[in-house]
C-alpha cells in the first residue's frame, strides 16, 4: 500500500476506534462471555463422553463375565482363544 494512502487512513482508523471504544468494549465483553460459555460446554461434553465410555466399558465387562460364566471359561481361556486367533491372522490363514 502506498505510504500516502496509509497515512491518510490512520486518522480515520484512530477516529473510528476512539468513537466506537465503548461499543468495542461491549463487544469484547460479550465475546469473552461467549468464549467462557463455549469452554464450559466443551468441558461438560468431554465429561459426558468420558462417563459414556466408562458406562459402555462397564456394560461390556459385565456382558463378557456373564458369557464366560455361561460357557464356564476363565479369563485365561478367553485370552488363549484370542491369542490363537491373532496368530492365525498373522500367518495368513
Most distant CA atoms of the chain, gap in Å: 88
How many Å is the Cα radius of gyration of the chain? 31
Query: Other C-beta atoms within 10 Å of 68: how many?
Result: 14
Q: What pLDDT, on a 0 to 100 scale, did the predictor assign at position 24?
A: 67
Distance CA 66, CA 60 (A): 10
- Tell me how long the chain is: 93
Residue among 82, 80, 79, 62 nearest 70 (CA): 62
Question: Global pTM?
Answer: 0.49
First and final C-alpha spacing in the chain:
69
Per residue in 28-64, pLDDT (tens digit) is 888 888 999 999 999 999 999 999 999 999 999 999 9
Q: What pLDDT, on a 0 to 100 scale, did the predictor assign at position 1?
A: 47
Mean pLDDT of all residues in 71-75: 95
From 7-16, 70-79, 84-93, the region with the lowest mean pLDDT: 7-16
The answer to whether 68 and 78 are in contact (CB under 8 A) is yes
Mean pLDDT rounded to a whole number for the chain: 80
The answer to whether 68 and 74 are in contact (CB under 8 A) is yes
Amino acid at each position: 500500500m502506498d505510504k500516502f494512502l496509509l497515512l491518510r487512513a490512520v486518522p480515520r482508523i484512530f477516529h473510528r476506534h476512539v468513537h466506537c471504544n465503548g461499543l468495542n468494549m461491549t463487544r469484547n465483553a460479550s465475546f469473552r462471555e461467549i468464549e467462557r460459555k463455549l469452554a464450559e460446554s466443551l468441558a461438560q461434553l468431554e465429561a459426558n463422553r468420558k462417563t459414556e465410555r466408562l458406562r459402555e466399558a462397564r456394560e461390556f465387562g459385565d456382558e463378557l463375565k456373564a458369557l464366560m460364566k455361561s460357557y464356564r471359561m476363565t479369563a485365561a481361556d478367553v485370552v488363549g482363544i484370542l491369542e490363537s486367533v491373532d496368530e492365525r491372522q498373522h500367518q495368513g490363514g
